[in-house]
Structure 1
Amino acid sequence: MPEPDLTPASTVEVLSAPTPESQFTTAKASRKSLLLTGIPMLVIGLGLIGFGLSTGLLVTLVKVLLMVVGVFLAIAGLGRTAEGIRGRKVDVVFGLGATWLVLLLAAAALAPWLPLGNHNDSAAGLSAPIFASPSLGSEYPLGTNNYGLDLLARAVYGARTSLTVSLFAILIGMTIGGLVGMVAGFFGKATDRVIGIFANALLAVPPLVLLIALGTVLDPNMRNLSIALSLLTIPSMIRVARANTITFAQREFVLAARSMGATRWRLLSKELLPNVLLPVLSMGVVMVSMLIVAEASLSYLGLGIQAPEPTWGNMIAEGESGVMEEHPFIVIVPGLCLFLTVFSFNLIGEKVQKRWDPRSAKL
């Protein structure tokens, strides 16, 4: 008859538990495996992107499909490679989005000093080739339009216009909407009801209808566009500022300041404003992408900045009348810039909102 095992359970658990040396070996093997699969995926993805951009042997649709597959492979390979190097997961998509925005903002700010081609002088473009195909080694790496204007230069200056209009619009919206919302939340009663009716009235008007109406009345310049687009942000900013003001007005530090005789101005400026500002800023980052799309829509409809001054919207409009079928890069270049910028702002806005607005983190 076999003897019973009298080894304590705790001893068995200790003996079966992985040792630090085995854990280190397993982690090292896992990181090596990630590198062995990630680096080839990254190289293949970059190779497909480069081949799609440089080859003239394939039709445009096949080249675009190759580049899309290459982008996905490159992102997946970069993520695995970064995880293998750092030993933990890395949010590669967020990093790429942030990098894109940094490069775009830098290029837009430094556009007058960059060695870019002709972006708006149609007369000077008469000597340049029209509809030149994109080629990395040529004078026009992203091609030219029907006036011989450089699409790379137009994309950069279009970013300058779109970002300037959108950022000024969001600043106006945050300033006016934030202050009005704080007043509504702090004073309440009749003040709150009147401001609430104003905000709901703005929300009741379809945004595109409002923008078209303003675009037909105002001159299409950057100042008027910023004012018109800010009307889309004010109602949301009022609601965010009002809700946070009501929440923080019941906190102990505000009640203590009120009991010590603090004036309403001091309560609003010193106690409430610093706490309401962060949620309003997080909402502003989220809404920048919406304003960029709205500005592009107005320019596409001919109600925004007028050609030959470039914006992404009127650059996309250049692909009308059958041009896109023969020269799709006319639309792909500004469309891709618009997509990447909006996508990146949405990613960063989501992260910022989770960090700065506690209510959104609970959703």
Structure 2
Amino acid sequence: MAVRRRDTRPVLLLTGALLLALGLAVAGWAAGTTVLVTLVRMLVLVAGILAAIAGLGRVARGVRGKPVDVVFWLGMTWLVLILGAAALAPLLPLGNADDSVAGLTSPIFAAPGGIGAEHPLGTNNYGLDVLARAVFGARTSILVALMAVLIGTTVGGLVGMVSGFVRGTTDRIVGILSNALLAVPPLILLIALGTVLDPSIRSIAFALSLLTIPSMVRLARANTITVAEREFVLAARALGAGRVRLLLREVLPNVVLPVLSLAVVMISVLVVAEASLSFLGIGIEQPAPTWGNMIAEGQGGVMEDHPYIVVVPGICLFLTVFSFNLLGEKAQKRWDPRAAKL
């Protein structure tokens, strides 16, 4: 069996390398050609990327001798890159991202010039650099989502724990309030709050946190009810431990991990929600960049003539949401066995 495994490694490496090279060649050709219409180019580009990923998986399996989740690790690599770029954005040598007055001296709708050019991914209708706006847009979009998840996880988790531990009237009131929030369509709720609150990062994060609180309350409550009936909690209660000590010392360590796994998934949901608000014009206002208002710049026929205006933030949004979903799925499988079985 060991001999057969060693024999298959060269085959995996060879076929994987060929498939990887072919996929990259097809994707590169599709990205640069002008022969095909846009839709066909996108389909060929996606096919090339999928072939390259399949080839990379074969190469990794041939090197390690066992299957490797290449898609997951590519997603984590993207998250490290985009989070690092967002955190270090003010220090990076980027172009003009939000100064529309300074943008008057730059060409509008400049085509992407590639690596080394003054505007590697082109400019928009204000002469602002698309690459710089994509990086600073990531800084805004991800920061809003992280702040909203932090607020929602803290408030929802604590309320759910207290509700599930105390039960009685408190539990009924919390259940009514959480069900009331869940009954309101999320987009309608966000639009209503967006018209009342000022379009700042803090206000948008507060509005988006309301989407996470009911789910966090339900998850924390369900886990608390289960943990509260465990033997070690009953033993601590019999020894005279108070409610606060039981919640903090016995219940919280067993509830926090499932809640955190849901929080990772909610980050991707809130990144999309923030982009939706900005796209509708009730989120972060221009010229401050977010992925949502960058995509909105493609309206009015702009995308047909300058597709990179929408493609760049669209790809960033897709890859970030997809990567956070992969991370959240792994976290749920490890930290929340009940969710992993669904």
Q: TM-score, normalised by structure 1?
A: 0.91
Q: CA deviation at 1:65?
A: 3.3
Identity of aligned residues (%): 68
Q: Does 1:81 align with 2:59?
A: yes
Does residue 1:296 correspond to 2:257, yes or no?
A: no
Q: C-alpha separation between the residues in 1 aligned to 2:25 and 2:95?
A: 27
Structure 2 unaligned residues grouped into runs of 5+: none
Q: Does 2:200 match 1:210?
A: no
Alignment of 1:273 with 2:259, yes or no, is no
Displacement of 1:58 after TM fit?
Answer: 5.4
Alignment-derived partner of residue 107 in structure 2: 129
Q: Distance in 2 between matches of 1:244 and 1:277?
A: 9
Letter in 1 for 2:100: S
Moved more, 194-203 or 121-130: 121-130
CA contact (8 A) 1:53 1:134 kept: no
Q: Which of residues 157, 162, 168 is equivalent to 1:178?
A: 157
In the alignment, which residue of structure 2 is the partner of 1:187? 166
In the alignment, what sits opposite 1:310? Answer: 289
Could you tell me which residue of structure 2 aligns to residue 15 of structure 1?
Answer: none
The one-character-per-residue Cα deviations of 1:171-223 (angstroms, maximum 9, x if unpaired) are 00011000000111001011100110010000010000000000000000000
Aligned with residue 69 of structure 2, among 83, 91, 97: 91
The one-letter code matched in structure 1 to 2:75 is G
* Aligned ranges 1:10-89 → 2 under 5 Å: 23-55=1-33, 59-89=37-67
Query: Following TM superposition, by how much is the alpha carbon of 1:50 offset from its aligned partner in structure 2, in angstroms?
Result: 2.9
Measure, in 2, the Cα distance between the counterparts of 1:87 and 1:277: 36
- Partner AA of 1:256 in structure 2: A
Distance 2:34 2:109 in 1: 15
Question: Following the alignment from structure 1 to structure 2, what is the Cα–Cα distance between the partners of residues 37 and 133?
Answer: 37
Contact 1:42–1:76, Cα closer than 8 Å, also in 2: yes
**How much has 1:360 moved relative to structure 2?**
1.2
Large movers: runs of 4+ above 6 Å: none
Match of 1:198 in 2: 177
Amino acid across the alignment from 1:70: G
Correspondence for 1:256: 235
Q: Measure the CA separation in 2 of the matches of 1:281 and 1:260.
A: 30
2:83 to 101, 105, 114: 105
Determine the C-alpha separation between the residues in 1 that align with 2:309 and 2:205.
27
- The CA RMSD over aligned residues, in Å, is 1.3
2:204 is aligned to 225
Say which one has the larger Rg. Answer: 1
Q: Which amino acid aligns with 1:41?
A: L
Tell me the amino acid that sits aligned with residue 132 of structure 1.
Answer: A
Q: Compute the displacement of 1:89 (Å).
A: 0.4
C-alpha separation between the residues in 2 aligned to 1:361 and 1:331?
A: 35
- C-alpha displacement at 1:135, in angstroms? 3.1
Q: Displacement of 1:67 after TM fit?
A: 2.2
Greater shift after overlay, 188-197 or 67-76?
67-76
Measured against aligned partners, the alpha-carbon deviations of 1:306-356 in whole angstroms (never above 9, x if no partner) come to 011000000000000010111111111111111111111111101101100
The AA in structure 2 aligned to 1:329 is Y
Look up the equivalent residue of 1:42 and give its one-letter code: L
Which segments of 5 or more consecutive residues in structure 1 lack a partner in the other structure? 1-22
Q: Which amino acid aligns with 1:211?
A: L
1:359 — aligned with what? 338
- Separation in 1 of the partners of 2:45 and 2:97? 26
Q: Supply the distance in 2 between the matched residues of 1:56 and 1:115 (Cα, whole angstroms).
A: 31
For the residue of structure 1 that corresponds to 2:68, the secondary structure is coil
Q: What is the alpha-carbon distance in structure 1 between the residues aligned to residue 231 and residue 89 of structure 2?
A: 50
Name the counterpart of 2:307. 328
Q: 1:62 to 1:130 in 2, by over 3 A?
A: farther
Shift of 1:59: 4.9
Of the structure 1 ranges 56-65 and 98-107, higher mean CA displacement relative to structure 2 is found in 56-65
